[in-house]
């Protein structure tokens, strides 16, 4: 039996204990984890400093190093997220429906944990705690497999969580970490049928595609975010400029940041210089089509087909001038990943058409795509943004980490 199979076996045993734990027990464990994180922050930051040093030596770009970095403020944020999860309603045991059949049977549908959840993610140590917290509150054991860039941080964080779980009366193996960050460990997780009930990849499009194409266990597709902001002909141009600045520049490495700006031809002459003035403050490289270059000049890098397909995760923005709403929707349909899309407009009917015709997990009118987040949507910490259409779509909170079963009450009914 491999190390990962042994972890899977232990997680299955732990999941059975966790599934019957009360809300009070689960909340007590989460409180214990938050307290332990606070007490051990010096050790956690020291482990993160090792990862940051290794990342710098490896030449990892700055936007990705920002994902990796832990600070006192970010640990405070992780602790705050844990406490938000404590305050959320426990979905386990909730009845979705209950009805009585003509034969007297009472049939209900009840939320239950999924079981063991595997998560493969990249260099974001905050995900380690957020994901574990949501799994624990929803009654699921979790096996975490982070990237090599964050291995020291993840080992420190998981050690803290496992100790806190044991001290609060739940099995340590409710949370496990795959310490081998080689490619084969990820491949083995994808094949761990019978041990893992659901596999969730969180990271770049390459990781997600690899898991979706190769896994033998059920996969929930998340994360790839080629998001767009479309500035309509009736848009408030100052509002539109502020929205694209925020959507591209506030945190360019996250999946809900905008990668492409689409501009109606009627406002391109006025809007593009206004937007560029704000983007220049962040040294954003603009890659635009011929019409964008006509307005802004040679400072615009000629855009290629690949630019409109790319999730840059950096201070780079693809720009295209479009004829109308139809062309904007057509562009988003062709290049979008079903994550988050925005229209800036004063036209009610265009706004409604955009909401109806754009197929994405979150569709915005006059607001930045950066709001696609479990906390901003009132779900607490999230385990990821689902871009698929089955089971869960959009930010995945506690309810999205449960399944359901039918519960049937009778008084002797039989069927011949």
Domains in the chain: ranges and CATH: 3-220+396-409 (3.40.605.10), 227-371 (3.40.309.10)
Tokens coding 370: 């950066």
pLDDT tens-digit map of 124-176: 898 899 899 999 999 999 999 998 999 999 999 999 999 999 999 999 999 99
Tokens coding 100: 């009585």
CA pair distance 266, 270, nearest whole angstrom: 9
Tokens coding 135: 């799994």
Tokens coding 84: 């938000």
> How much is the pLDDT for 380?
67
Of residues 33, 69, 39, 71, the one with CA closest to residue 53:
69
* 223 pLDDT more than 80: no
* 123 pLDDT more than 80: no
pLDDT tens-digit map of 290-324: 999 999 999 999 999 999 999 998 999 999 999 99
Q: What is the DSSP letter of 383?
A: S
Tokens coding 412: 């002797």
CA pair distance 84, 334, nearest whole angstrom: 38
Q: 368: pLDDT confidence band, cut at 50, 70 and 90?
A: very high
Q: 86: pLDDT confidence band, cut at 50, 70 and 90?
A: very high
CA pair distance 218, 197, nearest whole angstrom: 7
């Amino acid at each position: 039996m491999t190390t990962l199979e042994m972890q899977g076996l232990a997680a299955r045993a732990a999941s059975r204990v966790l599934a019957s734990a009360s809300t009070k027990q689960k909340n007590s464990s989460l409180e214990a984890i938050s307290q332990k994180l606070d007490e051990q922050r010096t050790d956690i930051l020291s482990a993160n400093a090792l990862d940051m040093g290794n990342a710098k030596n490896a030449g990892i770009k700055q936007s990705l190093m920002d994902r990796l970095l832990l600070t006192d403020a970010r640990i405070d944020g992780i602790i705050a997220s844990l406490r938000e999860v404590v305050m959320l309603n426990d979905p386990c045991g909730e009845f979705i429906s209950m009805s009585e059949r003509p034969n007297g049977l009472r049939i209900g549908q009840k939320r239950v944990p999924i079981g063991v959840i595997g998560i493969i993610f990249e260099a974001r140590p905050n995900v380690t705690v957020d994901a574990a917290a949501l799994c624990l509150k929803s009654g699921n054991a979790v096996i975490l497999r982070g990237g090599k860039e964050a291995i020291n941080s993840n080992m420190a964080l998981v050690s803290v969580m496992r100790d806190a779980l044991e001290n609060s009366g739940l099995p340590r193996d409710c949370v496990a970490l795959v310490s081998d960050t080689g490619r084969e460990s990820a491949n083995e997780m994808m094949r761990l049928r019978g041990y893992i009930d659901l596999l969730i990849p969180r990271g770049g499009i390459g990781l997600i595609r690899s898991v979706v194409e190769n896994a033998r266990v059920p996969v929930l597709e998340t994360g790839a975010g080629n998001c767009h902001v479309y500035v309509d002909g009736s848009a408030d141009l100052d509002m539109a400029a502020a929205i694209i600045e925020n959507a591209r520049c506030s945190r360019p490495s996250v999946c809900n940041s905008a990668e492409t700006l689409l501009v109606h031809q009627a406002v391109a002459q006025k809007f593009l210089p206004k937007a560029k003035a704000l983007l220049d403050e962040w040294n954003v490289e603009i890659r635009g089509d011929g019409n964008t270059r006509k307005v802004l000049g040679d400072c615009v890098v000629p855009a290629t087909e690949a630019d409109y397909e790319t999730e840059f995760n950096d201070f780079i923005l693809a720009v295209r001038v479009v004829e109308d709403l139809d062309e904007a929707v057509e562009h988003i349909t062709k290049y979008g990943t079903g994550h988050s899309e925005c229209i800036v407009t004063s036209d009610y009917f265009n706004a409604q058409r955009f909401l109806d015709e754009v197929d994405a997990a979150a569709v915005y009118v006059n607001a930045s795509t950066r709001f696609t987040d479990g906390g901003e949507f009132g779900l607490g910490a999230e385990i990821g943004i689902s871009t698929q259409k089955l089971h869960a779509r959009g930010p995945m909170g506690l309810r999205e980490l449960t399944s359901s079963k039918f519960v049937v009450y009778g008084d002797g009914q039989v069927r011949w």
